[in-house]
Structure formats: structure tokens, C-alpha cells
Amino acid sequence: MEGNWWDIHARLFGCSGENWAQTYALWNEVFRAEGRSNRELIAAVLATARREKIPNWGTEHLQAIRDELRLADHQAREKDRLDRQALPWPSCGHCRGAGWVCGLPHLEQIVDGKWNPGMGTHQTQAVTCSCHIGQRIETGVNDHMEKQQPGRERKLIGLDEYTRRNQNYREQMERHEKELRAAAETRRLKATSKNEDIQARLAGLLQRIGNGAQ
């Protein structure tokens, strides 16, 4: 089904008028702040319409949509968990059978043992793994490069060589991950503050709608 989720909700439940228009606008702000997509919200609205007990008041409609969103999130997580359990677990702890170790700090940004991007962003690189799969990839690629351009300096390196040149890469990655989590938490707190303001305005509007309906 195409269209905006609030239009579909209004048609299904007969919610019209200026008060409902304002309510939908506030709800949409809340859902956008939470990162919800139009597709997710349409699915939640349709699921609400299939309920045995249909909501009556604005607060009940909002709660029903939120409940359906949470249920969909749970089902998606459970499906992902079961899908991952069904996959064979690779033997190599570094590359998990891929032959490549990705996301390592780029050697060009390593300064005095630290991952220093300067004024830019943290750059990463991939290297071949030290397992037999990675070694086969490294040998094959480097041999091919040698045939194509004899004497050219080989650019592909393996995990062992990378580790010799940057022994502290694990600590560097952990530090960078902590910085990313801290930045994400800062953004979350700002979004929560905005969301609380929207919720307060929404509660006031729903109260006025309820008082007008009595």
C-alpha cells in the first residue's frame, strides 16, 4: 500500500478534522525523531486495523501503533538471530572464513603508535588473513600483479605484516569505538530532549481533543 501512513490511518479509522491534522503532525515528528520509516509505520497502522479490539481515543491509537512497531522490531531481531544460528560457524577467528580482515586502521594514519586522522576522518584498510584462505588470496593476487606489472611494488599485505607495522591496532580500534559510542550517546540525549518536548506538546493536544469530545 502506497501513501503517507497518516493518510492511511485517517481513511481506515475515520480520523478527520483540524485536531487530528495537528495530532498526526506531532506524531510524525515523534516517529521521525525515533528513526521510523514510512514503510514501518504503514505496516503498524495496518496491523492495528487487523486487531480484534479497535482503538477509540487518540492515546489508544498511538499506543497501538507503538506496540505494533515494537512487535515488528522483536520479530525482525528474532529472525536475524535464527538466520545467524543456521549459518555454519567458520573456523578462523580473524576473518571467519572470508580470507580478509577488514576495518583495520589505515597504516598511513598511524603516527607514533596512534590512529591519527589529522583533520580528516578515520580511514580503514583490509589485509589478507594469516589463515590458509587468506594466504591463498594474498599469493594469488600478488602473483597476478607481478605478471601484469613486473617489478611493481606489491601493495597487498597480510595480517602478519600489518601487525608488525602496527602492533597496537586492537587498542586503536577499541579507543575509536569508544569515541563513536560517546558521540552516538550525545546525539541520543539531544534527540531524547527534543522527543520529550514533542511528547509534552502531544499530551496537551490529546487532552484538548479528549475534553472537546466529552
Do 30 and 81 sit in the same domain of this protein? Answer: yes
The CA distances from residue 76 to 38, 44, 88, 99, in Å, are: 17, 14, 21, 29
Do 106 and 77 sit in the same domain of this protein? Answer: no
Q: Domain range spanning residue 55?
A: 5-87+198-213
* 187 touches 179 (CB < 8 A): no
- Is the pLDDT confidence value at 155 over 80? no
Q: Find the mean pLDDT for residues 146-158.
A: 76
Do 161 and 208 sit in the same domain of this protein? Answer: no
Do 20 and 66 sit in the same domain of this protein? Answer: yes
Q: What is the pLDDT of residues 74-110, one digit of tens each?
A: 999 898 888 777 766 557 888 888 899 999 999 999 9
Which pLDDT value is given to residue 211? 64
Given pLDDT bands bounded at 50, 70 and 90, which one contains residue 192? confident
Which pLDDT value is given to residue 125? 93
Say if 95 falls within a structural domain.
no
Do 149 and 80 sit in the same domain of this protein? Answer: no
Q: How far apart are CA 11 and CA 133, in angstroms?
A: 57
Which pLDDT value is given to residue 87? 62
Do 112 and 83 sit in the same domain of this protein? Answer: no
CA 111, 115, 118, 120 torsion: positive or negative?
positive
- Is the pLDDT confidence value at 199 over 60? yes
Q: How many domains does the chain have?
A: 2
Say if 58 falls within a structural domain.
yes
Q: Select the more confidently predicted residue: 134 or 154.
A: 134
Q: Select the more confidently predicted residue: 111 or 148.
A: 111
- Is the pLDDT confidence value at 161 over 90? yes
- Is the pLDDT confidence value at 42 over 80? yes
Q: Find the mean pLDDT for residues 45-68.
A: 91
Do 180 and 114 sit in the same domain of this protein? Answer: yes
Say if 178 falls within a structural domain.
yes
* 164 touches 110 (CB < 8 A): no
Do 67 and 123 sit in the same domain of this protein? Answer: no
CA 104, 106, 111, 117 torsion: positive or negative?
negative
pTM confidence score: 0.47
Do 116 and 148 sit in the same domain of this protein? Answer: yes
User: Per the structure block, which three cell numbers stand in for 86?
Assistant: 543456521
Write phi, then psi, for 204 (nearest 5 degrees).
-65, -40
Q: Find the mean pLDDT for residues 64-81.
A: 91
User: Per the structure block, which three cell numbers stand in for 9?
Assistant: 490511518
